Amino acid sequence: MATAKPSPQPIPRIAPREDLNPLRIAQIQFDMAAEYLKLDPGLRQILRSPKRVLEVSIPTKMDNGQVKVFTGYRVQHNVVRGPSKGGLRYHPNVTLDEVKALAMWMTWKTATVNIPYGGAKGGVICDPKRMSKSELERMTRRYASEILPLIGPEQDIPAPDVYTDQQTMAWIMDTYSMTKGYSALGVVTGKPLSIGGSEGRKEATARGVLVAVEEACKVKKIPFRGASVAIQGFGNVGSLVAKLFAEKKARVVAISDSRGGVFNSRGIDPLKAMRYKERAGTVVGMPGTSRISNDDLVTLKCEILVPAALENVITLNNVEQIKAKIVAEAANGPTTPHADEVLARRGIMLIPDILANAGGVTVSYFEWVQDLQSFFWPVEEVNAKLESVMRRAFLEVFESMRKHRTQMRTGAYVLAVGRVADAALVRGLFP
């Protein structure tokens, strides 16, 4: 059994300037936990690297008749605790190292909330905003068929991530099902309700963020009602964080997307912002708000900061200027290890990604369980189970942090890596 002993470790110094490679960041975070856990060097090597990496070429006929070949990846980091699970990202800046990091974070995330999955992630280098729906469909179906040998309800289960959605999942489910010759509901999660999606999945990541922030507010003795919130990224996750927080009477003072941000100290109505974004394609220019940049949003005076876009948003460049009392990482990997140290020194509570945004994978797990049983639960049941998982996970991470006299991220890592290490040790090494 992996046993944890208190032994505060400084972050390994990697470079005079910050290294923003997500994989190296993920490995630094892992190394810190491995030190606390005194993990065996062989096991460390196993857990530091992905189990499987698949790179595929995706020839796609574009609307103008020409063929364009996209590059895609599917990475499975670890499966000792169950099938691998993780989203699919479409973005021009996708790299293999990013997908490997995201897959590794998924392993720790599923272990943090203690659901029986490993971690995986997919990515395609493309610019979905410049593609038509039919181009996206053809690219998605070809990608699905290229990664088909690796995925399946008992093997590896994709879900939505940046610039992918329910429709993307429906195309993957259909491609997989047509190839197999039967309908396989459990091959992806985050599907539309009509083909085995779960009630509550759409809002699940945001609801998980809400529960984690409510718990953090109790610890920090900040009244949630009336607390000012700045949210970077107004997509699947960020827009619903804004909606759920506003429903609970927090004051959403700033939101943003890739084109910039908007601010109103009296509060922004998230539903109006959603409608405006639907029409205008951005939140920028929303009536009754003033414009701010994404950089200004991160350092805005507010109680709660929610990064809900991409990686490396809180770095040594801006961490000293952060004024929030709680940072809830709805996005994956928004804070660098050096910035983590500064946040901890400054007494700012960070709810790490592998905890804060784990509501999504938790309800994905519920969706998969419902698909496998062909028995579907009402939304109240899904939400109640999600809340209970998230509250328990928050308290376990908080307890781990206290026990090891460290910060929240390392507390979560020690808990999660310990669980994966225990499973790996008890299974033993094949052959």
- Residues lying near ligand NAD in the complex (CB under 6 A) are found at 160-163, 205, 232-238, 256-258, 294, 308-310, 330-332, 357, 360
- Least distance to ligand NAD from the beta carbon of 4, Å? 26
Query: Alpha-carbon distance 93 to 14, whole Å?
Result: 23
Residue facing ligand NAD at closest CB distance: 235
For residue 278, give every residue at least 6 positions away whose Cβ sits within 8 Å of its Cβ, in sequence order, or none.
none
Quick check: 398 and 216 in contact, CB under 8 A?
no
- Annotate 407-425 with DSSP letters as a single string: -HHHHHHHHHHHHHHHHHH
Please enumerate in sequence order all residues whose Cβ is within 8 A of that of 166, keeping only pairs 6 or more positions apart, or say none. 160, 190, 191, 192, 197, 202
Q: Which is nearer to ligand NAD, 36 or 263 (CB)?
A: 263
Least distance to ligand NAD from the beta carbon of 404, Å? Answer: 25
Nearest residue (CB) to ligand NAD, 294 versus 406: 294
Q: At residue 372, what is the residue type?
A: L
The CB-of-349 to ligand NAD minimum distance in angstroms stands at 19
User: Which CB sits closer to ligand NAD, 162 or 184?
Assistant: 162
232, 234, 237, 239: CA torsion to nearest 10: 120
Q: Are 304 and 324 in contact (CB under 8 A)?
A: yes
State the nearest-atom distance from the C-beta of 57 to ligand NAD, in Å. 24
- Which residue number, 84 or 406, has a Cβ lying nearer to ligand NAD? 84
Q: At 101, list the tokens.
A: 């990091």
Distance CA 3, CA 271 (A): 48
Of 431, 429, 351, 427, the C-alpha closest to 82 is 427
Nearer to ligand NAD, 196 or 360 (CB): 360
Q: Provide the 10 A C-beta neighbour count for residue 97.
A: 15
Q: CA 228, CA 324: separation in Å to the nearest integer? A: 9
Stated length of the chain: 431
The nearer residue to ligand NAD, 24 or 220, going by C-beta atoms, is 24
Token duo for residue 33? 């936990």
Among 85, 100, 109, 121, the one annotated catalytic: 121
Minimum distance of ligand NAD from residue 159's CB (angstroms): 7
**What stretch of H or E contains 74?**
strand 67-78
Site of tokens 């996209």: 70
CA dist 347 and 242 (Å) reads 25
Tell me whether residue 68 is one of the annotated catalytic residues: no
Active-site residues, by number, are: 121
